[in-house]
Amino acid sequence: MAFFIGRRAGKGRRAAGIDGTFAAGRSREAKKCGEMGPAQRKGFSMSYKFLTGVLGAAALAFTASAASAATLDDVKEKGYVQCGVSTGLAGFSAPNDAGDWEGFDVDLCRAIAAAVFGDPEAARFTPTNATERFTALQSGEIDVLTRNTTWTLSRDTKLGFNFAGVNYYDGQGFMINGKNLPDVNSALQLSGAAVCVQTGTTTELNLADYFRANNMEYNPVVFQALEEVNAAYDSGRCDVYTTDQSGLYAIRLTLTNPDDHVVLPEIISKEPLGPAVRQGDDQWLDVVKWTLYAMIQAEELGITSANVEEMMNSDNPEIKRILGQEGESTLAADLGLENEWVVNIIKGVGNYGEVFERNIGQDSPLKISRGLNQLWTKGGIQYAMPIR
């Protein structure tokens, strides 16, 4: 099947053929608009590799010194936790009209603040694009990266991070303008398409893998800043937008005509998104990891922001234990936290399910269904390690 993009052709561009016949024209277009054509991309990828090598070395050096670094002590001393978030992804991390950061990833940061200080407001946010996020964490500018970051081997090793769990099981998808491409209902029909993608992401790498594996051509239209990717796609400069599927739902809301855009059914990768910390600081890793697990476990036990006070009087040993109502327990102290750290998390932001529904689920404009992020007891794969 071949598809034609009349609008593009009407603007003097070549008609888009499924066989990639418009590739050369696209590259020229790409250069004109200040983004990377193939030659620039080659240079970019070399310098990126070089940069990654430098960062890797820096990370190792940093890790050595960070082995003695006690982020929890530093955080307590300064009085707040500094979290790296995105530059603005609706539902996940974005400033509201009053300028306060909100979202699913922001609430994970606030939960850490609540665990440490009993105060979800003791959190500050550093906006980072896909590339900046790693240097921000390596350099110590942020204490934890709470921003749709995929847990991969190379990030765990070469970049010098540890992932403290998965707060959102995601996968990469594709979005198209259904009005422009009414006959496209599968990613396998996208050969020859111009694909908008943000650099510094697993997205860029999976995209290359997927098209190569399916013997398809594509023209990457690559930017560092999210708003540039969004603007390029919204103006029709790309046929396709690819990123984590959750991101597609968030970005669709910000487009000029959200209803025109369709997310295709294919999920081409695993994107386990979770909070990352620097290697060499096990205590801080534990604080972040058990904060996330406590939110998931609270949902499993039916502890919510509405009933947590009442639940503190429960006779259920598991509920008593997690809420710090077992006198002899040293669980909290062993983490370096106060006895009621979980009570404070739940009072501050709610359990995992509450945070999900409020920010990205049915109580939000995104209306993402729980899917894989449902509890393991309800058909999903969210599963907290035992708090005992």
Ligand X SMILES: N[C@@H](CCC(=O)N[C@@H](CS)C(=O)NCC(=O)O)C(=O)O
Q: How far is the CB of 263 from ligand X (least distance, A)?
A: 13
Supply the minimum distance, in Å, between the C-beta of residue 148 and ligand X.
5
Coil, helix or strand for 21? coil
Tell me the closest approach of the beta carbon of residue 150 to ligand X, in angstroms.
4
Amino acid code (one letter) for 6: G
Alpha helices in 67-101 (DSSP H): 71-78
Cβ-contact 111, 387 below 8 angstroms? no
Using CA of residue 317, residue 323, residue 329, residue 330, what is the dihedral sign?
positive
Structure token digits, residue 224 = 């560092």
Candidates 21-29, 37-45, 81-89, 362-370; binding stretch for ligand X (CB under 6 A): 81-89
One of 89, 187, 207, 337 touching ligand X (CB under 6 A):
89
226 binds ligand X (CB under 6 A): yes
Task: Find out whether 240 and 175 touch, Cβ atoms under 8 Å.
Answer: yes
Please list every residue from 236 through 275 that binds ligand X, using CB under 6 A: 243-244, 247, 271, 273
How far apart are CB 267 and ligand X at their closest, in Å? Answer: 13
Would you say 89 or 216 has its CB closer to ligand X? Answer: 89
3-state secondary structure of 222: strand
State the nearest-atom distance from the C-beta of 258 to ligand X, in Å: 15
Question: For ligand X, which is the closer residue by CB, 86 or 291?
Answer: 86
The amino acid present at 263, given as its one-letter code, is V
Contacts 24+ apart (CB under 8 A), 226-231: 226/86, 226/87, 226/88, 226/89, 226/129, 226/130, 226/198, 227/87, 227/88, 228/35, 229/196, 229/197, 229/198, 230/254, 230/255
Under the criterion CB under 6 A, does residue 297 sit at the interface with ligand X?
Answer: no
Q: How many residues in total does the chain contain?
A: 388
> Could you tell me the smallest distance in angstroms from the CB atom of residue 227 to ligand X?
8
Q: Which stretch binds ligand X (CB under 6 A): 23-31, 40-48, 156-164, 201-209?
A: 201-209
**Minimal distance, residue 234 CB to ligand X, in Å:** 14
Of residues 92-131, those binding ligand X (CB under 6 A): 129-130
Nearer to ligand X among residue 114 and residue 175 (C-beta): 175
Q: Coil, strand or helix: which one is 81?
A: strand
The CB-of-60 to ligand X minimum distance in angstroms stands at: 21
* Measured distance CA(237)–CA(231) in Å, rounded: 9
Residue 45 or 313 having the CB closest to ligand X: 45
CB of 270 to ligand X, least distance (A): 10
Residue 373 contacts ligand X per CB under 6 A: no
Nearer to ligand X, 202 or 344 (CB): 202
Near ligand X by CB under 6 A: residue from 201, 297, 364, 373: 201
Nearest by Cα to 224 from 25, 44, 104? 44
Which of 196, 190, 183 has the alpha carbon at shortest distance from 16? 190
Q: How far apart are CA 131 and CA 203, in angstroms?
A: 12
Q: Which residues pair with 193 in a beta bridge?
A: 218
**Interface positions, 149-178, toward ligand X (CB under 6 A):** 149-150
Which tokens go with 115?
Answer: 């665990």
Which CB, 177 or 243, lies closer to ligand X? 243
Helix (H) or strand (E) holding 91, with range, is: none
> At closest approach, how far in Å is the CB of 69 from ligand X?
24
Name the token pair of 270: 């695993």
Site for ligand X, residues 272 to 291, rule: CB under 6 A: 273
> Residue 103, SS3?
coil
**What is the DSSP code (8-state) at residue 27?**
H
148 near ligand X, rule: CB under 6 A: yes
Q: Work out whether 198 is an interface residue with ligand X (CB under 6 A).
A: yes
Residue of the chain from 86, 199, 242, 245 that contacts ligand X (CB under 6 A): 86
**Segment interacting with ligand X (CB under 6 A) among 86-94, 104-112, 173-181, 231-239:** 86-94
How many residues at the interface with ligand X, by CB under 6 A? Answer: 19
Instruction: Write out the residues near ligand X by the rule CB under 6 A.
Output: 86-89, 129-130, 148-150, 198, 201-203, 226, 243-244, 247, 271, 273
